[in-house]
Amino acid sequence: MPTALITALSLLAQPQPPPDPAQFPLVAHRSMEIDDLDREIQRLHDTVLLKRGQLGSTQRLARRGLVSRSDLERGLAALHHEEAREAEARAYRALKEYERDVLGRVVPLDESKAYDLLLDWLKKQEAIARLEVDDRGVTLKQVRSQYRRLAVSRQQLDDAELAYNSALAKAALNQSRQTRVRMELAARKGEKPSDPAEYERLKAEHLKARVRYFEIVAEGARNRLTIALERSRRGLIPIPEVAIFQKAADDAEAALAAERKKLENPGAS
């Protein structure tokens, strides 16, 4: 029998310390969260089953030429979105359940498992974020086409552009979080020695991901300022309110500059 397995079995055989009464509120809170998640997961699963049934009906109608291709694509996109949300909720539940059991001393802390659960949850969030980017990108393309034909207002175009920017920012933030977790994991290899070169590579990747996130945020802040200036010029918002958007844009640019500085000198961060 491998030594690692023998060690693991011996650890499992050892009695765990009794639960810490001081941790009861946190353990109880985790249990409440898990109960809520169970109900939400069931709701999401029911929605997935409903969407699958609706898509099946739409596909049958499409084969008979009774629905458009765009209707079919919308049905498929809706199903994928609900499936991704259910998968994310299940990953989050697994993480919360492990947190509860560690806090309650039901199981010993396994750092590798904790990182795996956290990364799995972040990857499930990434799937949702990518679907939102695709969906809002398609919407933006449609709204731009409609705007050129004067079929929608400038405000509707602005809203579509800002929604797309928000989706990009959410996806970029997720990438930044994943690279941070992988970077920390590289520094904690358990029984294996850490690899300094791998750690530095992941650190640079993390800093680049953060810069990308702040670039998107700064772009969104600049766009909001431009929209505010235009609406102020047309008398739709008071001139003093423009200062709020100006400050937000200035703050976003300052945050971006700080992140770029960290990327230029990673050893200082």
Q: Is residue 158 part of a domain?
A: yes
Q: 222 and 95 in one domain? A: no
Q: Is residue 118 part of a domain?
A: no
Number of structural domains, the chain?
2
Torsion of CA 253, 256, 258, 260, to 10 degrees: -130
Looking at residue 120, what is its pLDDT?
A: 98
Q: 224 and 130 in one domain? A: yes
Q: 266 and 243 in one domain? A: yes
Claim: this prediction has a pTM higher than 0.75? yes
Residue 153: which region, alpha, beta or left (left: phi > 0; alpha: psi -120 to 50)? beta
Q: Using an 8 Å Cβ cutoff, are 209 and 172 in contact?
A: yes
User: Cα(246)–Cα(224) distance, rounded to whole angstroms?
Assistant: 9
Q: 169 and 81 in one domain? A: no
Q: 49 and 159 in one domain? A: no
Say how far residue 180 (Cα) sits from the centre of its chain: 14
Q: Is residue 10 part of a domain?
A: no
Q: Is residue 1 part of a domain?
A: no
- Evaluate the CA torsion angle 34, 37, 39, 42 in order and state its sign: negative
Looking at residue 17, what is its pLDDT?
A: 60
Looking at residue 197, what is its pLDDT?
A: 85
- Evaluate the CA torsion angle 188, 193, 196, 199 in order and state its sign: negative
Q: Is residue 245 part of a domain?
A: yes
Looking at residue 23, what is its pLDDT?
A: 75
- The tokens describing 216, both together, are 């998107």
Q: 264 and 140 in one domain? A: yes
Q: 238 and 159 in one domain? A: yes
- Among residues 201, 171, 173, which one has the least CA distance to residue 185? 201
Looking at residue 12, what is its pLDDT?
A: 38
Q: 160 and 98 in one domain? A: no
Q: 70 and 188 in one domain? A: no
Q: 252 and 132 in one domain? A: yes
Looking at residue 1, what is its pLDDT?
A: 46
- The tokens describing 265, both together, are 């000198």
pLDDT-flagged residues of the chain (< 50): 1-14, 191
Q: 59 and 134 in one domain? A: no
Looking at residue 14, what is its pLDDT?
A: 46
Q: 253 and 181 in one domain? A: yes
Q: Is residue 184 part of a domain?
A: yes
- The tokens describing 199, both together, are 């750690």
Residue-number span of the structural domain to which 209 is assigned: 124-269
